[in-house]
Amino acid sequence: MPPTPLDHAVAPLAGVEVVTIAVNLPGPVAAARLAALGAHVVKVEPPSGDPLSTYTRGAYDELCVGQDVVAVDLKSPQGQAELHRLLERTDVLLSSHRRAALTRLGLGWEALHPAHPRLVHVAIVGQPGAAADVPGHDLTYQAVNGLIDGTTLPRVLLADLAGADRAALEAVAALVGRGATGEGRMVEVALSEAARDMARPFRWGMTSPGGLLAGGFPAYGVYVCADGRVAVAALEPHFHRRLLEVLGVADSADALAAVFATRTGAEWRQWAAQHDLPLEVVV
């Protein structure tokens, strides 16, 4: 689900104007975050549209709710002039182009800042610094951080979504900074760094094989039940004690597996609610 918009009477970004030229997933998610906080968003798409609309129309429609969508050919002088007219009254520009592509479009910071000195530019890139133009995607950023298991593709586009949240946060932070200095600034948000940060629990050993949250703690795991699976997360000491006391079993994966196999997921969910324990049915 997209972020829930706030009441514009109390929305913290009410009155903030955002233009996004970012297509695919991270940029639209970041724009939707800002819109949910009350910003007015103009989504500038190429004449061929946002590729996200062809990958999954449902996601595209959700992420564009409440935004003004316009088609502009940024590769043409007329399209670039139209964008600059928009930027005259814009607070935040979101992009997801490579650095070299922005320069070709006349949107490098050395050109943007003199023309629009109060503009905040949040540029979503693949990798930071000199590697910003190196191609990559969510899959490759997860791969180099140890987050791919075998040949199974990840269910969560972790780098994209974490990077989108970071882009929205950086936009808000830059607006706060502008309030103090009167000057806009450019911030690059690297998806590879977002993946690296999300991989911290793995590097710390928490979710690496046999780690505390990867099979090393029996009360935190997934178990087969009579009609499927249940996820049990009795991690804190009081939850852990209560789980073992109420079930009357030993603190072992085998003992828990044996007891969870005796009831359906719905029965275990009701039981967990009665005993204030964190358990859910795996869907």
Domain ranges, ordered by start, for the chain:
17-201, 212-281
| Architecture of the domain delimited by 212-281 | 2-Layer Sandwich (3.30)
Q: What local confidence, expressed as pLDDT, does residue 280 receive?
A: 98
pLDDT tens per residue across all 283 residues of the chain: 556 665 555 799 999 999 999 999 999 999 999 999 999 999 999 999 999 999 999 999 999 999 999 999 999 999 999 999 999 999 999 999 999 999 999 999 999 999 999 999 999 999 998 898 899 999 999 999 999 999 999 999 999 999 999 999 999 999 999 999 999 999 999 999 999 999 999 999 999 999 999 999 999 999 999 999 999 999 999 999 999 999 999 999 999 999 999 999 999 999 999 999 999 999 9
Summarize pLDDT for 55-78 with one digit per residue, the tens. 999 999 999 999 999 999 999 999
Q: What local confidence, expressed as pLDDT, does residue 156 receive?
A: 97
| Architecture of the domain delimited by 17-201 | 3-Layer(aba) Sandwich (3.40)
Q: How far apart are CA 254 and CA 262, in angstroms?
A: 13
Summarize pLDDT for 180-222 with one digit per residue, the tens. 999 999 999 999 999 999 999 999 999 999 999 999 999 999 9
Question: Interior CA angle at 245 toward 241 and 248, to 5°?
Answer: 135
Q: What local confidence, expressed as pLDDT, does residue 49 receive?
A: 97
Continuous H helices in the chain: 26-36, 52-55, 57-63, 77-87, 99-104, 109-115, 138-143, 158-181, 191-198, 200-203, 237-247, 253-260, 265-274
Answer whether 17-201 and 212-281 agree in fold: no
Q: What local confidence, expressed as pLDDT, does residue 1 receive?
A: 54
Q: What local confidence, expressed as pLDDT, does residue 66 receive?
A: 96
Q: What local confidence, expressed as pLDDT, does residue 204 receive?
A: 97
Task: Please choose, from the candidates 28, 7, 276, 15, the residue with its C-alpha nearest in 3D space to the C-alpha of residue 160.
Answer: 28
Q: What local confidence, expressed as pLDDT, does residue 4 receive?
A: 64
Q: What local confidence, expressed as pLDDT, does residue 132 receive?
A: 87
